[in-house]
């Protein structure tokens, strides 16, 4: 590092601890009690549940939950919509939860998508994890599946959650950067937290700049339990798979979209639902027993690990459809309260320490944010099934209970609510044994192997994007030793990865050697399911075509493009030099959805230029038009053009390839086939620096 008086040692769980020659100020609780371990929750055994008596964890999370009012501390920028879930394959063998056992019923849901780090006023296309939270209003009570669009997380123990968020948020002395991880404090924390390396591969991938909420996967992250009527337990992981497939934007696109339309994701989802193009996801599960889990070469209770689909295949069991926008953003999207502890009989928790901490944290957060324990009475949070209890009074009590009895047992009112041992929720009676202590299970200690597997599972283009993202982010870090630490971690993942990032940074400093609690495995085979591009199949469904049209253009070509997109399930928008539209060669006026400034090519999946000769000459003198075409080419999009528009393409630096289609010669069908394949990836090395 930067001096001879600093060194790092690996802890029990592989975490790095910094040692220095001088004494540190001792960390204490708010009551002044010295903290002996700020890395691990108090558990019953290394893999056991977190204990309620852990006052250090409770105080740390409690204070963190109350840092912001009234905005959410994390996931502040969100967008919610209504829909329904329909089970298509019963899991009755594994669970008594009716929502997962009874097929053919439509269960109402409310879904909130969000970014994590930014405040409410931040932009949609920040590089960030996306929240994917689903509230099921089941006939047995509300079930909240509170997930992300990434299946792993930064940390293994909820004790570190305030730390990772504090590090990622804007730096407290200056209040910036907003909604970005490209700064010193984030990478300072990450460089000393080896368990985060798998998550870093995911967050630096294109998954954190999705094209649309509609084209985004979702994951429950943790292992949960399903419990059947006989009391038998099966572990489960939940996956949402978009029927439109997954798609992302390029980083340069994300930057420009944020400027052109900071509400890009919100607008996209709103417009899709309002036009009847309802987004759909398949709900899939990975099911496995305790005995099967013991044979895994990783620990399924570790939230920094995935269960590869090659190990436990996905089973599709249902469909989620989003079909109604909210009536009032504040009343619904802002006041909705998700809690991981909200489960129904037949769904139970695993001993994942991050999940256990979330179960405490979410309820406490909602109490602070919404100001009352009666937040469950708000319409968006209230169950749709009958409910009754003896909870009374409190701020903003909206119910008016009658009678004199608010307790049980009671002879005065024996007809009041009573527990039901048969139908009620019961926890799975798992056997727990182990010393009560703050520790990290040794089974959590492999921090690099799955990170390596993820990187090697990506296509060449996706790997290049991860490298470029790391170069960009670490290039914003002013503290050179932090860069050196991160290059060392990347080298532990894959030496070539560390070398590529070091080259991109032109790093000349010292790269420390970091020991590993568990050596990086090189025998994990790539998993194609981890790559967005490897599993993509051609489609135009849900995609958007932007057509730049000028006066004197051939309206028949425009009409054919629109018809082809409609038939394929896509959308078309018209861009003109002026918002008033254009006069076609037929004399008909064609209205425009945007002018050149309001409809940049970054907003579309593919583009076409249908221009007359005179119109092309006019566009060549308009730098907005030149930039419109240039950006589309730089962003690897398929570009269709009339023969008369070719001079504009030449001026914009467009070079012929499989994605440049002459509409007059090849026709609309050839353009549609090319556009359905997505981006022209072989073009990328020609248009940007590749590390």
Residue 19 is predicted with a pLDDT of 47
The β-bridge relationship of strands 606-610 and 544-549 is parallel
- Please tell me whether residue 513 adopts helix, strand or coil conformation: coil
- Cα–Cα–Cα angle for 203, 69, 187, nearest 5°? 25
CA distances from 381 to 139, 297, 509 (A): 14, 40, 53
Task: State how far the Cα of 117 lies from the Cα of 128, in Å rounded to an integer.
Answer: 7
For residues 268-287, b (16+ Cβ closer than 10 Å) or e, as one string?
bbeebbeeebebbbbbbbbb
Q: Hey, how many other C-beta atoms are within 10 angstroms of the C-beta on 337?
A: 20
- Cα dihedral 632, 633, 634, 636 sign: positive
Burial of 111 (0-12, 13-18, 19+ CB in 10 A): buried
- Please tell me whether residue 613 adopts helix, strand or coil conformation: helix
CA nearest neighbour of 616 among 576, 584, 645, 574: 645
Burial of 413 (0-12, 13-18, 19+ CB in 10 A): middle
H-helix or E-strand spanning residue 131: strand 130-138
Q: Which residues lie closer than 8 Å to 13 by C-beta, 6 or more apart?
A: 39, 40, 156, 195, 439, 440, 441, 442, 444, 445, 517
Task: State how far the Cα of 493 lies from the Cα of 148, in Å rounded to an integer.
Answer: 24
The β-bridge relationship of strands 78-87 and 106-115 is antiparallel
Q: Which residues make beta-bridge pairs with 583?
A: 589
Please check whether residue 204 is in contact with residue 473, taking contact to mean a CB–CB distance below 8 angstroms: yes
Residue 74 is predicted with a pLDDT of 87
Backbone phi and psi for residue 16, each to the nearest 5 degrees, phi listed first: -95, 135
- Please tell me whether residue 622 adopts helix, strand or coil conformation: coil
CA distances from 268 to 81, 152, 215, 520, 684 (A): 12, 26, 11, 41, 26
The β-bridge relationship of strands 280-288 and 233-242 is antiparallel
Residue 3 is predicted with a pLDDT of 40
Helix axes 264-274, 251-260, angle to 10 degrees: 80
3-state SS string for 515-535 = CCCCCCCCCCCCCHHHCCCCC
Backbone phi and psi for residue 644, each to the nearest 5 degrees, phi listed first: -70, -20
Tracing tokens 């903290």 back to the chain, one arrives at 35
Please check whether residue 495 is in contact with residue 501, taking contact to mean a CB–CB distance below 8 angstroms: no
Domains and CATH numbers, the chain: 55-180+201-377 (2.40.180.10), 448-530 (1.20.1370.20), 544-687 (3.40.50.880)
3-state SS string for 426-474 = CCCCCCCCCCEEECCCHHHCCCCHHHHHHHHHCCHHHHHHHHHHHHHHH
Q: Which residues make beta-bridge pairs with 105?
A: none
Residue 26 is predicted with a pLDDT of 79
Residues identified as active-site: 75, 148
Average pLDDT along the chain, 691 residues, taken 10 residues at a time: 46 53 70 82 90 83 74 89 98 97 96 96 96 96 96 97 96 94 98 98 98 98 97 97 98 97 97 97 98 97 98 98 96 94 94 95 89 90 88 86 88 86 88 90 97 98 98 97 97 98 94 93 96 97 98 97 97 96 96 96 98 98 98 98 98 98 96 98 94 88
DSSP 8-state code for residue 157: S
* Pair of tokens at residue 81: 């919509």
CA nearest neighbour of 222 among 135, 155, 320: 155
């Amino acid at each position: 590092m930067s001096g001879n008086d600093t060194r790092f040692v690996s802890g029990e769980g592989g975490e790095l601890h910094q040692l220095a020659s001088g004494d540190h100020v001792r960390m204490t609780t708010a009551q002044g009690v010295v903290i002996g371990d700020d890395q691990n929750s108090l558990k019953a055994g290394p893999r056991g549940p977190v204990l309620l008596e852990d006052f250090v964890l409770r105080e740390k999370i409690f204070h963190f939950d109350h840092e912001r009012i009234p905005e959410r501390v994390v996931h502040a920028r969100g967008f919610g919509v209504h829909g329904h879930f329909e089970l298509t394959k019963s899991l009755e063998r594994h669970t008594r939860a009716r929502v997962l056992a009874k097929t053919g019923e439509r269960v109402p849901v409310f879904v909130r998508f969000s970014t994590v780090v930014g405040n409410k006023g931040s932009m949609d296309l920040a590089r960030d994890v996306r929240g994917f939270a689903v509230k099921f209003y089941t006939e047995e009570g509300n079930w909240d599946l509170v997930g992300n669009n990434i299946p792993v997380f930064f940390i293994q123990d909820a004790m570190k959650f305030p730390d990772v968020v504090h590090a990622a948020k804007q730096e407290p002395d200056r209040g910036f950067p907003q909604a970005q991880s490209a700064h010193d404090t984030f990478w300072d924390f990450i460089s000393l937290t080896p368990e985060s390396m798998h998550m870093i591969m995911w967050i630096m991938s294109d998954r954190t700049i999705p094209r649309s909420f509609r084209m985004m996967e979702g994951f429950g992250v943790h292992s949960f339990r399903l419990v059947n009527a006989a009391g038998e337990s099966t572990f489960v992981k939940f996956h949402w798979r978009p029927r439109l497939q997954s798609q992302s934007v390029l980083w340069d696109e994300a930057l420009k979209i944020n400027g052109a339309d900071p509400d890009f994701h919100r607008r996209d989802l709103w417009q899709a639902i309002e036009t009847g193009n309802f987004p759909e996801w398949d709900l899939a599960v990975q099911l496995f027993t305790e005995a099967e889990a013991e044979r895994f070469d990783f620990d399924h209770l570790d939230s920094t690990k995935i269960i590869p689909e090659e190990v436990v295949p996905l089973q599709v069991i249902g469909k989620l459809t989003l079909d109604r926008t909210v009536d009032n953003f504040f009343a619904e999207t802002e006041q909705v309260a998700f809690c991981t502890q909200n489960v129904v009989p037949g769904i139970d928790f695993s001993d994942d320490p991050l999940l256990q901490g979330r179960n405490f944290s979410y309820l406490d957060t909602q109490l602070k944010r919404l100001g009352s324990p009666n937040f469950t009475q708000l319409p968006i949070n209230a169950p749709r099934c009958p409910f009754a209890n003896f909870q009374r009074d409190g701020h903003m009590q909206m119910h008016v209970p009658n009678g004199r009895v608010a307790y049980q047992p009671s002879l005065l009112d024996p007809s009041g609510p009573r527990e039901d041992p048969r139908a009620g929720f019961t926890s799975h009676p798992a056997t727990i044994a182990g010393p009560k202590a703050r520790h990290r299970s040794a089974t959590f200690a492999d921090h690099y192997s799955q990170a390596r597997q993820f990187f090697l599972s990506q296509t060449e283009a996706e790997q290049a994007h991860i490298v470029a993202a790391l170069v960009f982010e670490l290039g914003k870090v002013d503290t050179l030793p932090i860069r050196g630490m991160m290059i060392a971690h990347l080298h532990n993942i894959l030496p070539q990865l560390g070398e590529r990032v070091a080259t991109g940074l032109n790093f000349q400093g010292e790269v420390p050697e970091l020991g590993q609690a568990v050596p990086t495995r090189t025998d994990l085979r790539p998993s194609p399911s981890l790559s967005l591009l490897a599993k993509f199949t051609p489609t135009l469904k849900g995609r958007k075509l932007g057509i730049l049209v000028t006066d004197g253009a051939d309206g028949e070509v425009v009409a054919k493009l629109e018809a082809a997109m409609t038939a394929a399930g896509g959308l078309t928008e018209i861009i003109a030099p002026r918002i008033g539209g254009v006069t076609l060669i037929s004399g008909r006026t064609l209205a425009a959805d945007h002018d050149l400034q309001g409809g940049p090519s970054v907003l579309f999946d593919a583009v076409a230029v249908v221009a007359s000769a005179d119109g092309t000459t006019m566009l060549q003198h308009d730098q907005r038009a030149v930039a419109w075409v240039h950006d589309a080419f730089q962003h690897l999009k398929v570009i269709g053009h009339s023969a008369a528009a070719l001079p504009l393409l030449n001026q914009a630096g467009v070079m012929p390839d499989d994605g440049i289609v002459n509409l007059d010669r090849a026709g609309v069908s050839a353009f549609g086939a090319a556009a359905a394949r997505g981006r022209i990836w072989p073009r990328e090395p020609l248009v940007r620096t590749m590390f």
